[in-house]
Amino acid sequence: FIYFSLPGSASSQSMRKFSCVNLSPKQLNIRNLVSYEKQQVPTNAIMFITARGIKICVSADQTWVQTAIKRIDDRRAAK
């Protein structure tokens, strides 16, 4: 997977924001996912973060992706 950082202005934070470029076609194991970030640029995608800290980008409009987001949100609410 390829991530690229979006150039910011000189006054922006030193923390670079990574964007999804290549999307994984595979369905991920929801149990391994701990977090996610929604992205609209350059493509509408969800970046899932696994328990190991690996970031994987997937297309936001897949059914299993919506299920995974709901599971993560439910887990967060339960804590």
Element (H, E) at 49: strand 45-50
The domain spans of the chain are 25-78
- The predicted pLDDT at position 17 comes to 60
Give the Cα separation of 75 and 6 in Å (integer).
Answer: 31
Give the Cα separation of 53 and 40 in Å (integer).
Answer: 22
Full-model pTM: 0.72
pLDDT in tens, 41-76: 777 899 999 999 999 999 998 999 999 999 999 998
For 67-71, the CB contacts below 8 A with 24+ separation are 67/30, 68/28, 68/30, 68/33, 68/36, 69/36, 71/30, 71/33
57/40: higher pLDDT: 57
Question: What's the topology of domain 25-78?
Answer: OB fold (Dihydrolipoamide Acetyltransferase, E2P) (2.40.50)
Strand pairing report for 18-20 and 33-39? unpaired
